[in-house]
Structure 1
Amino acid sequence: MAKLLCGVALLPLLICILVAAPCVINATINCGEVTILLTPCIPFGIFGGTVPPDCCKGIKGLNAAQNASVADRRTACSCIQEGAARIPGINYDRINTLGDLCGSPCPYKVYPSTNCSEVS
């Protein structure tokens, strides 16, 4: 229970960190939008368990938005990568399962080593 409360207490800080993540220029999607869509996924990325419905709604919204262009996919990748790197205890293998778990697979996987500029 204390672990859950600690995670919930960190959410406002994590949201601020994600909003400040750098983004690729010339895209129609931005890190603020990515943050809004994916914030409900943070507890799953740290603790696991059941994927919140709002997380799946965000995943589907992000996939719909980033299908517009390669620049959008690269921006989303960079935003996710930079934001996730700032979240203590994030499990990259777990967050990379979210697309499949939500029925909206992502066309790339995000890890610290992912080169988002190569996402097509």
Structure 2
Amino acid sequence: MAKLLCGVALLTLLICILVTAPCVTNATITCGEVTALLTPCIPFGVFGGTVPPDCCKGIKGLNAAQNATAEDRRIACSCIQEGAALIPGINYDRINTLGDVCGSPCPYKVYPSTDCSKVN
């Protein structure tokens, strides 16, 4: 139970950080939007199991939104990378399968070492 409460507290912190992140004027996607779309994916990213339907809905929504420009993809990549780093126990290999599992492949993989500024 303590682990779950810790996860909820960290998720709340993550959302607060990403929602208040500065916006880039040329982009059409924000970290707040990325967070809202991907929050349902966090339990899968940490614990595994079945991918929640709302997670797949978020993955598809994110892929549709970030296809507007390369800058949108870079912002989404950075937001995912920064947010995932704040979640204890996140499994990067698992979260990088979500696009394929949900039938909406992501054009890049996010790991702590990913250079999001080079995402096209």
Moved more, 53-62 or 15-24: 15-24
Distance of aligned partners of 1:21 and 1:51 in 2 relative to their CA distance in 1, 3 Å threshold: farther
Asked whether the 8 Å contact 2:7–2:87 carries over to 1, the reply is no
Equivalent residue letter for 1:30: T
Give 5+ residue unaligned stretches, structure 1: none
Counterpart CA distance in 2 for 1:114 and 1:76 is 12
Offset of 1:115 from its aligned partner? 0.4
Q: In the alignment, what sits opposite 2:106?
A: 106
With the length of structure 2 as denominator, give the TM-score of the two structures: 0.88
Equivalent residue letter for 2:75: T
Deviations 1:19-53 (A, max 9, x none): 34566552110100000000000111110000000
Identity of aligned residues (%): 88
Q: In the alignment, what sits opposite 1:97?
A: 97
Asked whether the 8 Å contact 1:18–1:79 carries over to 2, the reply is yes
For these two proteins, the number of residue pairs brought into alignment is 120
Counterpart CA distance in 2 for 1:45 and 1:16 is 19
Q: In the alignment, what sits opposite 1:63?
A: 63
Deviations 1:44-94 (A, max 9, x none): 111000000000000000000000010000010010011111111111000
Counterpart CA distance in 2 for 1:60 and 1:12 is 23
Counterpart CA distance in 2 for 1:74 and 1:11 is 22
The RMSD of aligned alpha carbons is 1.9
With the length of structure 1 as denominator, give the TM-score of the two structures: 0.88
Give 5+ residue unaligned stretches, structure 2: none
